[in-house]
Structure 1
Amino acid sequence: MTTDHQSPLPDASRPEARDRIYRSPSGIAGGALLLFIVGWLGVDALVSGHGRTPWLALAGLILAVPVVSAFTLRPAVYANDDRLRVRNPLRVIKLPWGQVASLRSHYSNEVVDTSGTKYQLWAVPVSLRARKKATRQPLRGTGGEGRLSSLGRPSSFGRGAAADAPARPETDRIMQELRETAESRATADTAQGEVTVRWAYEVIGPALAGAVLLAILLVTG
């Protein structure tokens, strides 16, 4: 291996940083179950159906499979040192960190660019139930006593110190991690550029074809 020093590669030829990938396990599990049910019913209708039933089943499968996949299996968030890439059901948004104004959490998690446009993070859903559970955990950790320090915070003295610390919901932890990356990389030279939005024609095309075929079959029936 040589150790001679060379000038840095230009930005165009610089390899892209490795992504951190965030997805929803519950969404993936639910999508897999739905696809299994849809596939089972659809294939059964194709094989054992009579008359127009196989055609209706085929149209339904062409429509249902991409739609179910888009809203359950497809959503993902990819983050590296240069940009945030949001893969939502019908769009893919690329935001260099220099274009990210904020990452907000309320009833949904979303990223806001410098122009004020908001994009929802489908792959990082908000769980209000997990938040409520996290806020109740400190009291359970103290055996229901909820002992407070002189500053009004849960006491961290003794064996209950670790239990007193609230466990943050996973999606809140992810959002905090993304905020920290956005803050630290906002002014980096490699994190500048324009926001790009691409429609997911690989999802829209098959779904539209299935919808058209299904409509024709229903109208001509």
Structure 2
Amino acid sequence: MASGLVVVLGVLLLADAAARGSWDVVLVALGPVAAAVWVTWVATVRPCIRFDDDAVTVVNPLRTTRVPWPAVRAVRQRWQVLVDTVDGRTVTCRGGPALPRRRPGAGGPADAPAVRPLLDRLAERRRVAGTVAPVAPVETTWDRVPVVLGAVAGVLLVVSVVTATVTAVA
């Protein structure tokens, strides 16, 4: 929440500097604002867990992993949702629901009702596929969009530092 407010404030101040014609301020502030927007998007908005009839797809900040249902050995939850595969890998879902805090004195593990739809779909797919389903490979790929946008934010950050240095020397 706080990072979102920082991003909104940065964008508003950047727009105000542009509207006033203070292009030196825009050039100095553009890189940090772009980096803050990118980090906020990659870390808090983008990560998620999607699933359909064929697979569970884990979208982490810079990578996406698609695990076909026959390749899923178990779904469990620690601080994040973990998908264990039949080949021994564990995929951590950065965008999954977190465990609720346990109350002091409450016995037993914390319950995670937000993971229930994923577990229900896994059980359904196992019933449909039976026990002899072929295991498709787990696919992990870099996502071009966040990587390219991160590179652009990095270049803008370098431009801002160089502009700030040049204006400070002059």
The two structures have a TM-score, normalised by structure 2, of 0.73
Identity of counterpart residues, as a percentage? 24
Structure 2, unpaired ranges of 5+ = 166-170
Structure 1 position 117 matched with structure 2 position 60: no
- SS across alignment from 2:42: helix
Who is 2:161 aligned against? 218
Who is 1:101 aligned against? 73
Count of aligned positions: 162
Who is 1:180 aligned against? 123
Structure index of larger Rg = 1
Who is 1:199 aligned against? 142
Who is 1:59 aligned against? 31
Deviation at 1:219, TM superposition (A): 4.0
Q: Distance in 2 between matches of 1:38 and 1:117?
A: 40
Give the root-mean-square deviation of aligned CA atoms.
3.4
Q: What amino acid sits opposite 1:201 in the alignment?
A: R
Deviation at 1:181, TM superposition (A): 4.1
Q: Distance in 2 between matches of 1:33 and 1:43?
A: 15
- Give yes or no for contact 2:74–2:83 (8 Å, CA) kept in 1: yes
Who is 1:155 aligned against? none
Who is 2:49 aligned against? 77
- SS across alignment from 1:176: helix
The two structures have a TM-score, normalised by structure 1, of 0.59
Deviation at 1:174, TM superposition (A): 4.1
- Give yes or no for contact 2:100–2:112 (8 Å, CA) kept in 1: no
Who is 1:12 aligned against? none
